[in-house]
Chain A
Amino acid sequence: MPVLELQNISKHFGAIHAVSDVSFSLEAGEVVGLMGDNGAGKSTLVKMIAGNFRPSHGSMRLDGAELVMHRPVDARRHGIEIVHQDLALCDNLTAAANVYLGRELRRGFGPFSVLDYAAMYRRAAQIFAELKSETRPRDLVKQMSGGQRQAVAIARTRLSDPKIVLMDEPTAAISVRQVAEVLNLIRRLRDHGIAVALISHRMPDVFTVADRVIVMRRGRKVADKRIADSSPEEVTGLITGAIETA
């Protein structure tokens, strides 16, 4: 059974049809590349799965159950974690503080509870070790490289035990060496049985790490193929419209 199933999802903003009648599913332990040109509807689709937008039509199912979300927090509660394109990091805080942002651990009772620094440092260090990242919990994000920042953003998704991780352009703004680092991080998420949706412009990244590729054009899904059955040339053609569907 798929973890996430989208059935005939559409999203309209007034007269603009951002996403029209899209259906697809994500399986556990699978990396799916979601590709398309600017304005193809990728971001809108992701924002619906992330709980930012509600679909105009269609339904989403999580583990077979109807999924209705009103706020981004709902997505997190259902085990959907998002790594945002700009990573949503606070430069002025430490790695551990960023990992725990919005769900800080506390000790004590009620109004007298204080931040549990020790526990947060310990758990963050464990996650970084798990991800084989050299990031240390007390490091300030301000002084980190692009790859390290990415590791912090990905570490966030490991706090809960998510079913799905959506990654929005995780390799857009980092160096070649760091790209390899991030792709490894994605593989580790997959190895934990998590379904990863990778939204990317970079053909090599998708073909290196993904099992399946979904191509969007003008709000519609034009292809949904196993990577082994496709090629970068075909996907490029599908994105630009040189090839109608596949």
Chain B
Amino acid sequence: MTPAETPDHRTRSSDEARSPMTDSTNSLDQSIAQKQHTRLAALLSSQTFWVFIAVILACLYLSFATDSFATSKNLYNITRNVTFVAIIALGMTIVIISGGIDLSVGSVLCLCSMVLAVTMHAGYSIEIGIAAAIGTALVVGAFNGILIAYLGFPPFVVTLGMLSVARSLAMVASNNTVVFEFGPDHDKLLALGGGAWLFGIANPVLYMLVLAALTGFVLRWTRFGRHVFAIGGNEQAAILTGVPVRPIKVAVYMISALSAGIAGIVQTGWLGAVTTNIGAGMELQVIAAAVIGGADLAGGVGTALGALVGAALIEVIRNSLGLLGINAFWQGTFIGGAIILAVLFDRIRNIRRRD
């Protein structure tokens, strides 16, 4: 009944084409090819897959139940709204896989947006503005990471502190004003975030897809990605086997802050204005997206695709409540319910496996 009992005995076709081999080579190849789960079983047991199905079903239902859902304008809005949470959720997923958490992302988004806005408002070019924003993100991430990796602070505490510090610095940088004039490169910035360069797909969506592909690649195909999984699975084992745990942890928090910074830059271009309260409470949405998408807060599990799918489900829920005329006060209940439900399925599977 469990997938493990139905092993996949395929050998690779190139082996069959070769001349007959000795038994030992044959069994070695079989052993190499043997998986515990078939592709289908792996798919069916993945939380990301079921959340994806939920998103599709919700979209289908809404297309029939409302006139306004399946309009190109609404879909354009949804896909674009998803992106800001999704881009940060990619970074957050890496942090969660490593067994950590980053509560500062909402504030870092705000700080980076403000650094960009203030720099450009002062008459500097968009390149300098973006470099300043990215630099700010990397410094904040490195600060978080060094305290966590080298001084042994709990990630929760450090990033909770940074949540407060980064937003406060954004207020200091802007004197708590709204910035909506971005100097000589004003139009370039708005085009960067608000345009649609390819087939009418909103730019933020393109950035999100590129970053998701990059994250997925790093997690699966690089030594860095492998080590992030190892640290989340058993940090002590990673240390004993010579994995450079501390530098990797610093990098992980820098990536998380960087993702918040990128989302901040794109969001600034899209909104055309920056206030000191953008991104407030966003860290919870981002963590929710990662967890709904299958990242395990205990560490060691998570995917880039999951981050996108989780973010999509949250946005579809938000959007549909509005379209269905349900009081917006219910939004939190539905999103919270989705978090608990998504993880509930995972728990049920685990309990069943243990029996």
Contacts and interface: CB of A to CB of B under 8 A. Distances in A.
Contacts of A126: 28
B45 interface: no
B28 A143 contact: no
Interface string A50-82: 000000000000000000000011001000001
A235 B36 CA distance: 45
A102 B243 contact: yes
A129 B31 contact: yes
A88 to B, nearest CB: 4
Given A88-B237, A91-B300, A92-B233, A76 B223 contact: no
Interface stretch (B176-184, B189-197, B224-232): B224-232
Question: Quick one: which of A72, A97, A102, A136 has the most chain B CB within 10 A?
Answer: A102
A213 to B, nearest CB: 27
Given A92-B229, A93-B229, A128-B31, A138 B36 contact: yes
Contact of B223 (A89, A104, A125): A104
Contacts of B223: 104, 106, 115
Contact of B222 (A97, A103, A115, A128): A115
A202 B150 CA distance: 38
A101 B28 contact: no
Question: Quick one: which of B35, B220, B223, B300 has the most chain A CB within 10 A?
Answer: B223
Contacts of B151: none
Interface string A100-122: 01111010000000110000011
A191 interface: no
B6 interface: no
Contacts of B241: 88, 101-102, 156
Interface string B290-328: 000000000011000000000000000000000000000
A161 interface: no
B337 interface: no
Contacts of A92: 229, 232-233, 300-301
A82 B241 CA distance: 9
A103 B28 CA distance: 23
B1 interface: no
Given A101-B237, A114-B222, A139-B36, A76 B242 contact: yes
A244 B275 CA distance: 79
A111 to B, nearest CB: 10
Interface string A130-150: 000000111110010000000
Contacts of A87: 237
Contacts of A129: 24, 27-28, 31
A173 to B, nearest CB: 16
A143 B222 contact: no
A81 to B, nearest CB: 11
Contacts of B242: 72-73, 76, 102-103
Given A137-B31, A138-B34, A143-B4, A88 B240 contact: yes
Nearest to A82: B240
A209 to B, nearest CB: 24
A91 B234 contact: yes
A234 interface: no
A156 B241 CA distance: 10
Contacts of B237: 86-90, 101
A82 B237 CA distance: 12
B232 A136 contact: no
Nearest to A52: B240
A86 B239 CA distance: 13
Given A103-B242, A104-B223, A90 B31 contact: no
B199 interface: no
Interface of A: 72-73, 76, 82, 84, 86-93, 97, 101-104, 106, 114-115, 121-122, 125-126, 128-129, 136-140, 143, 156
Interface of B: 4, 24, 27-28, 31-32, 34-36, 220-223, 226, 229-230, 232-234, 236-238, 240-243, 300-301
11 contacts: A72-B242, A88-B236, A92-B229, A93-B226, A101-B243, A104-B223, A106-B223, A115-B220, A122-B32, A129-B24, A138-B36
Cβ-closest 3 pairs across A and B:
A90-B233, A92-B300, A102-B241
